[in-house]
Amino acid sequence: MPISTTATEAETTPDLPPVEVLLVTNHFYPVIAGGAERFRRYGPGLRKRGIHLHVIAPRLDPAQPGHEDLEGVSLHRYAAGGSGPEQLETLLQHAVKWLAECRDSPPHVIQVFTSYPRTAASFWKWRFAGKRCLLVFTMTPDPRIIPSGVLRRIRRRLRLRWCFGAFSRIAVGSTTMAETCAANGNAARRKIVVIPHGTDTERFQPVPHGAAKAVLRKNLGLEPESRVVLHVGSILPRKRPHLLLEAWPEVIRRIPSARLVFLGAREDRKTLLTSALQNEANEYLARIDTLVNSLSDPESVRFLGEVPNVEDYYRSADIFLFCSRQEGMPNAVVEAMACGLPCVLTHFLGFPAEEFGREGSEYLETRGNPRAIADHVVALLENPEESRRLGRNARKWVTSHLNVEDSIDAYARLYRQLAGGTPGTG
């Protein structure tokens, strides 16, 4: 069950002592990674509630400062070579040294986004030393990887117990993630807490009228008279942008003014943890380029990379498309909904059962094939009233159910619960 939230958490904590939280992560600003970026945005709100967030992350460039204050987040960067488990292990070693220097105000909670067999020992040591460890899952586990055979299943269960058993709580973004984690053996149900990913509904809000949208498009270099379809996410196999490009010939055949805009990293994606994944991504990019070049109008597709003003593109678009294969609770969908965009989603592993609202009311779900995607896009572009209805409902749903203040309230309450050693948190 989700932690209960109220809109007045910030008003009820001014006299409570501060809680120190240490987040150790492979990726943090300026690298854009879903979970890390979310907590960077939560930082100022958490500080107002008396939660002090410290972050240990890799120092990717010698020119980067070793320490930086980012609006409520104290970021500490350290040299940490390798990737994935190796890099996290190095960062945890830095965390041990950092903790030894913080004897006067040591962190009450240590948080990570993942754990591996080679890193689990650190969390067990902290647990036995009385520290509370929190794992925030950002990706839904794949239940299809459960092996056959009794002995293999026993070994897998023991490995999962070793990796995740030291955590006092495991936070997830949706009820689907919670059910999958429990069924998959990642955590006992009593340890799982659901905190949906809220978004800033002031930053992400609809454009007030058509004239403002035209001005916004002009400032972004988009044709005011075009019909803009937006995708936000890295150009990776898991995100499946090829489905959009395979659908695109039919879309521009029926609506020649349609434009497809991709926001997100293409090359040198820092979140790819192995060279094999990077090589796979490079091969995939070649496939993407081939699809674009084969279009009758290649100029109808634009790749703009990562941008600091993503909200302007949501507000200038007509439709949001999301075709991922596997997610947690994706930030991009919630942001698009908050901006009043009609959202067309294909089903993915981890698709929220309730957090996005109802299919047909707050969003549309389509099959993951090019023709179905094209039909949905064209139908919405040809029916502005239906698009407006979906967008209004989406905006209303997010403001009512996925406001960032509620999410920050819930995490503040969880941190305080862990810091206080509430019975049942071990």
Tens digits of residue pLDDT in 186-200: 777 889 999 999 999
Does the bond joining 30 to the residue before it have cis omega, within 30 degrees of 0?
Answer: yes
The reported pTM is 0.89
Per DSSP, 79 falls in state -
User: Taking 90 as the threshold, does the pLDDT of residue 12 lie above it?
Assistant: no
Q: What is the pLDDT of residues 58-107, one digit of tens each?
A: 998 889 999 999 988 999 999 998 878 999 999 999 999 999 888 778 89
Spatial distance between the Cα atoms of 125 and 95, rounded to a whole number of angstroms: 13
Domains and CATH numbers, the chain: 9-198+404-419 (3.40.50.2000), 210-401 (3.40.50.2000)
Q: What is the pLDDT of residues 349-406, one digit of tens each?
A: 999 989 999 999 999 999 999 999 999 999 999 999 999 999 999 999 999 999 999 9
User: Taking 70 as the threshold, does the pLDDT of residue 142 lie above it?
Assistant: yes
Structure tokens given for 91: 């960062």
Residue pair 176/328 in contact (Cβ under 8 Å)? The answer is no
Spatial distance between the Cα atoms of 41 and 43, rounded to a whole number of angstroms: 5
The whole-number pLDDT of residue 159 equals 86
Mean pLDDT for the stretch of residues 210-222: 93
Spatial distance between the Cα atoms of 393 and 340, rounded to a whole number of angstroms: 8
Give just the sign of the alpha carbon dihedral 292, 265, 317, 226. Answer: negative
The whole-number pLDDT of residue 205 equals 96
In the chain, % of residues over pLDDT 70: 92
User: Across the chain, what does the average pLDDT equal?
Assistant: 90
Strands 73-78 vs 67-70: parallel, antiparallel or unpaired: antiparallel
Residue with tokens 């990642």: 186
Burial of 162 from C-beta contacts in 10 A (0-12 / 13-18 / 19+):
middle
Structure tokens given for 324: 């991922």
Residue pair 137/350 in contact (Cβ under 8 Å)? The answer is no
The whole-number pLDDT of residue 154 equals 83
